Amino acid sequence: MSSLRWAVADGWTMTRRDLAHWVRQPAPVVVSLLFPILLVLMFGYLLGGAIAVPGGGDYREFLLPGMFVMTMGFGVEGTMLAVTTDASRGVTDRFRSIPMAPSAVVVGRCGADMLNSALVLVVMAACGLAVGWRPHGGLGATLAAFGLLLLLRFAFLWVGIFLGLAVANPGAVTLVQVLVWPISFLSNIFVAPDTMPSWLGAIATWNPLSVTAAATRELYGSPGAAAGWLGVAVVWPLLLVAVFFPLSVRAFRRLSR
Amino acid sequence: MAVLVDRLRKRFGDKIALDGFDLHVPAGTVCGLLGPNGAGKTTLVRILSTLLTCDGGRAEVAGFDVATRAMQVRRRIGLVGQHAAVDEVLSGRQNLELFGRLYHLSAAAARARATELLDRFGLADTGNKAVKQYSGGMRRRLDLAAGMILAPEVLFLDEPTTGLDPRGRNEVWAAVRSLVADGTTVLLTTQYLDEADQLADQIAVIDAGRVIAGGSPAQLKSRIGGDRIEVVVHDAGDLGPAAELLHKIAAVEPEKDVDLRRLSAPVRDRVAALTETVRALDAAGVPVEDIALRRPTLDDVFLTLTDGKVSA
């Protein structure tokens, strides 16, 4: 019992460490909030006029759920950067030499990143409301949609932790920052996959980003929504967790080899 | 024994880092591990501080096996590694309070301990600045403070002054001495011979994953022949007669360096040898440029030991 209590307490201490970073060094958090807004403005107002929404409708109403998903995808690099920075500076070693709950390093990361992503979603939703996006489903459907987005972020958390531990080189974060773009474009975030060559369209349709975007569009009642993706939008993130959680645990253990 | 290492082995792939390493460090003493890069110093410290597992042998720290009782060991050690492993964004005080909380001190106790440690390590004025703005010496002192939140029984210092300027080095040395005065056992790795000489009671010279020599700094120095007298004559032509005089005083043939016009011989009674030499040279009318007694440095010890190993 008491070891579980310490695991929670230590995890919260580690989360508070990140919250203290936000206060002392707000620039990265502010950028993580403003950059998606910039993208909404660019795609909504500069490019969006030339993009047809599948089945017709307002492009910004179509775009916003996709942008919510994309900001969850940006989380991978945030998590990875935090993990590699601690590992390369020896801070992770210090934590490992302290008689704290070993899980706290990861629990703290999880708490801080999920809070950050929830904050990003609040800001993005406000931005969406300002540019004409509306949730047309009920309150329950709307909350469920945000729940799916956070579930996807939780899956990406483990991808980020694994990459951060396995690569252990802050320079490699740049590679992930670059890769986020083609992976995001190979999805239904900006355009319908059936406008792509059929084999690419098939990959784009099953991209986990697309699956969550399709499911949340359905829940928000957005234009261009396709029915039937809710189940897949739960399974895909769980599958990612099932793969990357054990890989992360293994990478953490390998630190002592 | 605060630290007991018994035939410890560790390899990384093909590379053998520790090859049957033995070490005994009595409680309350400072042990210096002296060796070149890649000798296995850091690997040993990482195993003893529970960060790495070993492949064979056994190690105990503060009476607990590092492999099977890691949590007990972690409660009793402090680790100060080669990087200043502190959070750069947070202030010094925030770092110490964070680590205090992770050592399961209450919020009030963590705050009090942070204040105490900032004072003790001369960081009271800069405690609220971000660590990013600290000098190298300040960071290292903060790192030391973070390593002793719980007043550890055993403190591991892995090259604590690497990359510091002389002032930063003196600051860290002073901090280490004050810990030792409180009874902490210290295991210190270093490449700097004067650092081991300054701080350590016992020195283990290590090379290629083994201890190749051990003892107090004085014992190690005496292994290469104790003090020496050195005479530099003014004219190379005087080297022969001067060598004969020195031979009589030291009772062994002096080493001769013709280029530097220098003679050197081991002596037992330092002062007597010096006076006798001065008198003898003066009486013989040999003009002398320099005459001095030299204590062997640990550099001499290290070079002698490793050279011996290479040629063997």
CATH of the domain at B207: 3.40.50.300
What value of ipTM does the predicted structure carry?
0.88
Residue numbers in B near A24 (CB within 8 A): 89-91, 94, 130
Assess whether B195 and B46 both reside in one domain: yes
Residue numbers in A near B157 (CB within 8 A): none
**In chain B, which ranges are continuous DSSP H helix?**
41-48, 70-76, 92-102, 107-120, 136-146, 166-181, 193-199, 217-223, 239-250, 270-284, 298-311
Cross-chain CB nearest to B81 (options A90, A100, A257): A90
What parts of chain B have a pLDDT lower than 70? 224-225, 298, 306-312
Q: How far apart are CA A190 and CA A185, in angstroms?
A: 7
The answer to whether A112 faces chain B, any CB pair under 8 Å, is no
Whether residue B306 lies inside any domain: the answer is: no
Q: How far apart are CA B242 and CA B247, in angstroms?
A: 8
Assess whether B186 and B280 both reside in one domain: no
Assess whether B75 and B135 both reside in one domain: yes
Assess whether B78 and B215 both reside in one domain: yes
Domain range for residue B256?
Answer: 227-294
Count of CB atoms situated within 10 Å of the CB of B45: 23
Q: What is the DSSP letter of A228?
A: S
DSSP helix/strand/coil, B137: helix
Whether residue B301 lies inside any domain: the answer is: no
Assess whether B146 and B70 both reside in one domain: yes
Phi, psi at B13, each rounded to 5°: 60, -120
The answer to whether A104 faces chain B, any CB pair under 8 Å, is yes
Cross-chain CB nearest to A94 (options B71, B85, B101): B85
CB–CB of A17 and B74 under 8 A? no
Over the stretch B264-312, which tens digit does the pLDDT of each residue have? 888 878 888 889 999 998 898 888 889 988 877 767 777 777 665 443 3
Tell me, what CATH number does B261's domain have? 3.30.70.100
Contacts of B250 (CB under 8 A, 6+ apart): B229, B265, B266, B267, B273
CB–CB of B53 and A99 under 8 A? no
Instruction: Copy the structure tokens of residue B301.
Output: 């010890």
With b meaning 16 or more CB within 10 Å and e meaning fewer, what string describes A22-56?
Answer: beeeeeebeebbeebbebbeebbeeebeeeebbee
Assess whether B123 and B211 both reside in one domain: yes
Instruction: Copy the structure tokens of residue A48.
Output: 């969006």
CB–CB of A90 and B98 under 8 A? no
Assess whether B253 and B151 both reside in one domain: no
What parts of chain A have a pLDDT lower than 50? 1
> What residues of chain A, 8 to 37, have a C-beta less than 8 Å from chain B?
9-10, 13-14, 17, 20-21, 24-25
Size of interface A-B (CB pairs under 8 A): 73
Whether residue B303 lies inside any domain: the answer is: no
CB–CB of A17 and B81 under 8 A? no
Backbone Cα Rg of chain B: 24
Total tally of structural domains belonging to chain B: 2
CB–CB of B83 and A97 under 8 A? no
Cross-chain CB nearest to A90 (options B52, B83, B103): B83
Q: Which residue of chain A comes nearest to B72, CA vs CA?
A: A99
DSSP helix/strand/coil, B22: strand
**The predicted structure's pLDDT at residue A95:** 93
Assess whether B52 and B128 both reside in one domain: yes
The answer to whether B53 faces chain A, any CB pair under 8 Å, is yes
CB–CB of B74 and A13 under 8 A? no
Q: How far apart are CA A115 and CA A150, in angstroms?
A: 10
What does the domain layout of chain A look like in residue ranges? 2-254
Q: Provide the residue type at B221 as one letter.
A: K
Instruction: Copy the structure tokens of residue A24.
Output: 């002392």
Phi, psi at B75, each rounded to 5°: -70, -15
Assess whether B209 and B254 both reside in one domain: no
Q: How far apart are CA B173 and CA B179, in angstroms?
A: 10
Which residues, in sequence order, are bridge partners of residue B9? B19, B56
Residue numbers in A near B87 (CB within 8 A): 17, 91
CB–CB of A17 and B82 under 8 A? no
Residue numbers in B near A112 (CB within 8 A): none
